[in-house]
Amino acid sequence: MNRISVEQRINGRKAKEIYEHIRKHGVVSKIDLLDRSGLTGSTLTRTLEELTGQQLILEAGFGESTGGRRPILYTINSDYAYVFGLDISRMHSRLMLFDLKMNPLEAKRWVMDEEMTPQKLLEEIAAEAETMLAQRGLDSSRVLGIGIGAVGPLDRSSGVLLEPLHFPAPGWTQVPLTAWLEERLGIPCTLDNGANAALIAESWSVREQDYRHLLYVHVGVGLRSAMMTGGQVVYGAVDMEGSLGQMIIQTDGPRMWGQGNFGALESYVSIHALEQQAQARLKQGRDSVLLRLEPDPEKIQFAHLQQALQENDPLTVELFTQAATYFGIGLANLLNILHPEKVILGGALISSHPGFFHTATRTAIQRAYHYPKYQVVFSQGTLGEDALAAGAALMVINRLTAQ
């Protein structure tokens, strides 16, 4: 089956600009489009008729009159096509189906345990995607594509997951994600790292506020970060999603998994670091609710820590506060180098307890060199666990107006 590429569905730079403006603002009047496009009235009318004829946009009634005829309103056609967003992470993976207005229609979540190999996950994802479409009576030709936000490192151009660390199941090396799903489903796929995808989604959710410089940091099994400036994700020479975790906080400190830098940030701020620290304190004789939850210190896991934190266990609170403080120091280093306007924090540690977010951001602000002249906004985002899958879907939709 021959498919029109996403980029070719809208012809011409001006048509793409008009569509993007309508998409960004939801409902737009023809008068507003005339003012912003720089087109003559006849050229704008012809462009709008072409977009309407393709069913990319719809007339949405009439606006308020300013003295003459009431202006026609336009909105994008959410039913023109659909898009999948796929989040592949170390703890959970998630598939979501969206319409073009980013309304979530279907969702499925998988726990990434010791049995979840790449082959098993991809088979289940493909089967679930087909089920989602069948339930809504949709053919795969109605799907623009599948966007994938995955743990790095990865190769975006070839669509291959390279050598990510810390997956519970074996086999997560040199995985051809996009090629496998495209062959299985016949739907084009796009791959980027999960931090970039989450930042794209969170930026879209606050698009009316027009932040120019955004930083996203995800704190969980590892530390993942992404940067956006002028509405565009900043890419380095290599996939740099996990590099933040290797920021050196203490030169003679420990290192995780027997590799990477000694005293790296992830040695103090990550799920595994917290598990190790809790196990060590309990072996030293510290009293804790954790021992009621799991008598064997070596079997303490993050789920136990989360439960103990909810019970306000002193040892667990101490460990999370220490981790939040270290994270705040690392965050301050980023602020002093990058000077973002807004920082969005996500991940299991950020959502584990309000105190983690507040301690980390307070520590970062105290160590920001130009504070209080330099003001930064901190946020836990608006999309929660859906951010990565939503951003992956947006990666596909954004290609409609790519020049």
Tokens representing 295 are: 């008598």
Distance CA 320, CA 295 (A): 21
What is the dotted CATH code of the domain comprising 6-76? 1.10.10.10
Strand partners, 264: 248
DSSP 303-339: HHHHHHHHTT-HHHHHHHHHHHHHHHHHHHHHHHHH-
CA dihedral 6, 151, 210, 351 (to 10 degrees): 140
pLDDT at 1: 45
17-43 CB burial, b ≥16 within 10 A, e <16? bbbbbbbeeeebbbebbbeebebeeee
Span 142-167, pLDDT tens digits: 999 999 999 988 999 999 999 888 89
Distance CA 394, CA 204 (A): 9
Element (DSSP H or E) covering residue 84: strand 82-88
For tokens 């064997």, name the residue.
296
Closest CA to 145 of 334, 381, 393, 359: 393
Strand partners, 95: 86, 108
Tokens representing 76 are: 């994008």
Topology of domain 82-201+387-401 in CATH is Nucleotidyltransferase; domain 5 (3.30.420)
3 state DSSP class of 61: strand
Tokens representing 323 are: 């981790």
Residues of the chain with CATH 1.10.10.10: 6-76
3 state DSSP class of 47: helix
Strand partners, 401: none
Which residues of the chain register pLDDT less than 70?
A: 1-2, 65-68, 239-241
Closest CA to 47 of 79, 22, 82: 22
Identify whether the C-beta of residue 342 lies closer than 8 Å to the C-beta of residue 226: no
Q: What is the DSSP letter of 190?
A: E
| Superfamily grouping for domain 211-381 | ATPase, nucleotide binding domain (3.30.420.40)
Identify whether the C-beta of residue 9 lies closer than 8 Å to the C-beta of residue 402: no
Residues of the chain with CATH 3.30.420.40: 82-201+387-401, 211-381
pLDDT at 186: 94
Strand partners, 176: 160
Amino acid at 380: Q
Closest CA to 288 of 258, 316, 321: 316
Distance CA 281, CA 315 (A): 8
**pTM of the predicted model, to two decimals?**
0.90
Tokens representing 230 are: 């002028």
Distance CA 357, CA 352 (A): 9
